[in-house]
Amino acid sequence: MNRHQAPDELLLDFATGALPEGPALAVALHAALVPATRSALARLAAMGGSLLEGQEPEPLGEAVLELALARLDRTQVEAAPALPLPRTGFEWAPSPLAHYLDGRDWKRVFGGFERIDLPLTSGDTHLVSLLRLQPGRGLPAHRHVASEYTVVLQGGYTDNTGNYTSGDFAVGPGPQEHEPIADPGGPCIALIVLEKPIVLSGPWGRWLNPLVRRGWI
C-alpha cells in the first residue's frame, strides 16, 4: 500500500481534463503504479458522468447544430493506435511515459545525478524531467517558488518530509528547504514536474541559481 498519494483536488482536475500536460503526466504515472489511485479516478469519472446525466440539456441554436454536424462529416474515423513499446533499457517505464522517451537518453548533470528532460507538446510551460540517483546520492539542497510534483518510478528517496518509494506521489514543500537522498539498494528513478526552476540554497546557490534559471545546469 502506498503511503503518499496525489491530493484529491489534483485527481479531480485530472479526471475532468483540467490539468496541464506536465502535472497530468505525473498523475497518469502515479495511477499506472497504484491501484488505489486508478480506483479513485474511476470513481471521480463516474461521479462526473452522473452529474452530467442529471442536468437538463441546453437548447442549441440551429447554426451551432449545423456547424457541429459539418465537423462530424469531415472527421475521419481511425483505428486506435497501439500503445508504444518500451525502448531497450527503459522496460521499467509505465506506458504513459513511453513516447516521451523517443530519441532520448540519460545525461549526467551538475550534482552527480542523471537526467532526461521530457518535451511537452501542448504548449504547457512546466519543466518535466526524469532523474536517476544512485543509492546514497542526493539532489543539492534547494527550495521551490512554485508547484513541484514528484512520482517515484523505481527505488526510493528520503528527505525531511518523509520516505517515498515506487508509486508514491510527493507535492513539493514550497519554501521549505529539502535535500532528497536516494535510499540504499537500486537507483532511484523519479519524474519531476516543476512550475518554475528550483532555487539552490547551499553556499554556492548565489552563483549557480542564474545558471539553473537558464536551464544550463
Give the count of alpha carbons within 13 A of 170, CB side only. Answer: 24
For the chain, domain boundaries: 95-213
Distance CA 98, CA 190 (A): 14
Exposed (0-12), middle (13-18) or buried (19+): which is 73, by Cβ within 10 Å? exposed
- pTM, two decimal places: 0.75
Distance CA 8, CA 47 (A): 14
What's the CATH class of domain 95-213?
Answer: mainly beta
- Residue 82's contacts (CB-CB under 8 Å, 6 or more residues apart) are none
Grouping H, G, I as helix, E, B as strand and the rest as coil, residue 66 is: helix
pLDDT in tens, 28-81: 999 999 999 999 898 887 775 554 445 554 454 444 434 434 443 443 434 434
111/217: higher pLDDT: 111
- pLDDT given at position 212: 54
One-letter amino acid for residue 160 of the chain: N
pLDDT in tens, 163-207: 999 999 999 877 777 788 999 989 999 999 998 876 767 665 554
pLDDT in tens, 80-131: 344 455 566 788 899 899 889 988 999 988 767 899 999 998 889 999 999 9
